Amino acid sequence: MRLVFIGPPGIGKGTYAKAISQKYGIPHISTGDIFREEIARGTELGQRVKYYVERGLLVPDEIVVEVVKKVLQSPMCSKGFILDGFPRTLKQAEELDKITKIDLVFLFEAPLEVIVERVSGRLVCPKCGAIYHIKWRPPKTPGICDVCGTPLIRRKDDEPEVVRERYRIYKETFAPIIEYYRRKGLLVEIDSSRDANVVIADIERVLKEKGLTK
């Protein structure tokens, strides 16, 4: 089950990916998460991508493709994977086709205002990556991760004004990629203005319909 998830920042993609990843035992591979982690750990890769990530600029294709290729060819991806945040350029999409065959591409959509409301209340755990929402998915103890007890943070790029700008950039960046997969007949559009559990059930229904799960 080799999947690509596409959607604007804040749509809930991370939450859907985690649920599907757990249910079917395939890894959720977010290039953004990989880069943030490498930067936090101060690795060589982290140092190479820091400049771009901190400015919201695209990391050069050669670097991203090299990272993704390594991950996808590792044993952890033998049953499949969910790619999140990759591909982000046509070049990356073409390179991905050389690495492996993609089964399905989910495109998550919702009006911008729905996204802004979701995102401004979002909290994440800097240690284990768990995601919360002040209103809809509050942690048991305010501000503390249920899973590992680490104080939660609001990602800098979850600020409303940053979200609007990133939405604009998302639309621009992903238009050719969405077209690319639409033409290949791999694109499945999912209305994500609904509750996360409804969206997740919808993804599962599609996976079953397409014969990717039993």
Under the binding rule (CB under 6 A), the answer on residue 85 touching ligand AMP is yes
Tell me the C-alpha distance between 176 and 99, whole Å. Answer: 20
- Between residues 86 and 108, which has the closer beta carbon with respect to ligand AMP? 86
CB of 17 to ligand AMP, least distance (A): 11
- Between residues 70 and 205, which has the closer beta carbon with respect to ligand AMP? 70
- Between residues 129 and 139, which has the closer beta carbon with respect to ligand AMP? 129
Terminal Cα distance for the chain, rounded: 12
Under the binding rule (CB under 6 A), the answer on residue 86 touching ligand AMP is yes
- Phi, psi (degrees; rounded to nearest 5) at 188: -125, 120
CB of 92 to ligand AMP, least distance (A): 6
Tell me if residue 143 falls in helix, strand or coil. coil
Under the binding rule (CB under 6 A), the answer on residue 88 touching ligand AMP is yes
Under the binding rule (CB under 6 A), the answer on residue 7 touching ligand AMP is no
Tell me the C-alpha distance between 10 and 29, whole Å. Answer: 17
Under the binding rule (CB under 6 A), the answer on residue 57 touching ligand AMP is yes
- Between residues 92 and 133, which has the closer beta carbon with respect to ligand AMP? 92
- From 178, 4, 1, select the one nearest 86 (Cα to Cα): 4
H helices present in 42-159, as ranges: 44-54, 61-72, 90-99, 112-120
Within residues 12-51, the interface with ligand AMP by CB under 6 A covers 31-32, 35
Under the binding rule (CB under 6 A), the answer on residue 108 touching ligand AMP is no
The DSSP bridge pattern shows strands 187-191 and 81-84 to be unpaired
- Rounded alpha-carbon distances, angstroms, from residue 68 to 32, 81, 179, 187: 11, 11, 22, 21
Task: Give me the amino acid identity at 135.
Answer: K
- Between residues 21 and 31, which has the closer beta carbon with respect to ligand AMP? 31
H helices present in 60-195, as ranges: 61-72, 90-99, 112-120, 160-184
CB of 35 to ligand AMP, least distance (A): 5
Within residues 176-205, the interface with ligand AMP by CB under 6 A covers none
Tell me the C-alpha distance between 145 and 4, whole Å. Answer: 28
The residues carrying an active-site annotation are: 13, 88, 122, 155, 166
Binding site for ligand AMP (CB under 6 A): 9, 31-32, 35, 52-53, 56-59, 64, 85-86, 88, 92
